[in-house]
Amino acid sequence: MNKTDLLSEGKTKKIYNTKNNFEVIIHYKDNITSFNGKKNELISYKGVLNNEINSCIFKFLNSCGIKTHFIKKINKREQLCHKLKMIPIEFVVRNFICGSLSKRLKIKEGTKITNQITEIFYKNDKLKDPFINDNHAVFLGISSYNELNIIYKIINNINNYLNKYFYKKNIILADFKVEFGKNYKNEIFLSDEISPDTCRLWDKITMKKLDKDPFRKNMINKKEILNIYTEVLERLNKE
Ligand code: TMP
């Protein structure tokens, strides 16, 4: 499972080919970004924490029967994963009003959503990842109605499993973003990452933010971010 050539590099991860045509190695960098990469800083050790947190969450989802790209963690910064062709859509799942939805609908952050809202965004840096709907996605040729319906069902399961998983760790899953890809047989797999970078996580009792949001809002320094991510990892590792 040695790395061969660099396949792609994103804001927080590098993806390497391996000698096996069906597997890649994902390397977690120390970058933390927001506002589509406009704010981009290095926090030493963050990649190690994110690799560990993601490995915990994807291992859990695998154990629930969700098909994910994750095969195994191979070292502090890297995972072995199934090689997929990514669908360029960000699926945002919301259990509480927050962030961009709060701004769009002018509803107070923290308001409970009783019917789980799923939104889709076209992953396109030049267009700044616009909010789209299923018709747009099909028109753009980036997905089909059938594929989207399959993904929405998977997402409902993921949300149910993760809500319970985090709640046991005294964490409320306010919202999160997921991405999917297809393998050589066109089977759909959960991919990318689920971590404090891509979720809003709140302490069940104090409502303290256990995610990237305070960084986005310039409310905390790098050391505090590391402390928060470490706290999340410690909670996930606790039985
Ligand atoms: P939003 O409220 O800013 O739209 O974000 C919703 C959730 O999706 C939040 O948990 C952060 C996550 N997210 C990402 O991980 N990457 C992104 O590019 C965006 C826009 C949101």
User: What's the CA gap between 35 and 191, in Å, rounded?
Assistant: 22
**Token pair recorded at residue 100:** 């961009």
Q: Which of 1-10, 112-121, 128-137 has the lowest mean pLDDT?
A: 1-10
Please indicate, yes or no, whether the overall pTM of this predicted structure exceeds 0.95.
yes
How many beta carbons lie within 10 A of that of residue 198, not counting itself? 20
Environment class of 77 (CB within 10 Å of its CB; exposed 0-12, middle 13-18, buried 19+): buried
pLDDT for 132 equals 98
To test the pocket of ligand 1, the residue of 175, 210, 215 to mutate (highest count of ligand atoms within 8 Å of its CB) is: 175
Q: Is the CB of 176 under 6 A from ligand 1?
A: yes
Counting from 1 in the atom list of ligand 1, the atom nearest the Cα of 100 is 2
The model's confidence at residue 37, banded by pLDDT at 50, 70 and 90, is confident
3-class secondary-structure state, position 99: helix
The model's confidence at residue 171, banded by pLDDT at 50, 70 and 90, is very high
pLDDT digits (tens, 9 = 90+) for 58-85: 999 999 999 999 999 999 999 999 999 9
Q: Which residue minimizes the CA distance to atom 14 of ligand 1?
A: 198
User: What's the CA gap between 199 and 45, in Å, rounded?
Assistant: 19
Counting from 1 in the atom list of ligand 1, the atom nearest the Cα of 211 is 10
pLDDT for 9 equals 97
Q: Which of 99, 202, 188, 199 is nearest to 151 (CA)?
A: 188
**Token pair recorded at residue 37:** 């990469």
To test the pocket of ligand 1, the residue of 12, 177, 178, 191 to mutate (highest count of ligand atoms within 8 Å of its CB) is: 177
Q: Examine the pLDDT at 38 and tell me if it is beyond 90.
A: no
Q: How far is the centre of ligand 1, averaged over its atoms, from the C-alpha of 228 (Å)? A: 18
Please, what is the average pLDDT of the chain? 96
3-class secondary-structure state, position 212: coil
Average pLDDT over residues 39-47: 95
pLDDT for 146 equals 98
User: What's the CA gap between 227 and 43, in Å, rounded?
Assistant: 11
Q: How far is the centre of ligand 1, averaged over its atoms, from the C-alpha of 95 (Å)? A: 13
Q: Give the contacts of 166 (CB within 8 A, at least 6 positions apart).
A: 172, 173, 201
Q: Is the CB of 96 under 6 A from ligand 1?
A: no
Backbone angles phi, psi at 231, to 5 degrees: -60, -45
Q: Which residue minimizes the CA distance to atom 8 of ligand 1?
A: 177
pLDDT digits (tens, 9 = 90+) for 92-107: 999 999 999 999 999 9
Q: Is the CB of 80 under 6 A from ligand 1?
A: no
Residue 164 DSSP one-character state: H
Counting from 1 in the atom list of ligand 1, the atom nearest the Cα of 99 is 2
Backbone angles phi, psi at 200, to 5 degrees: -110, 120
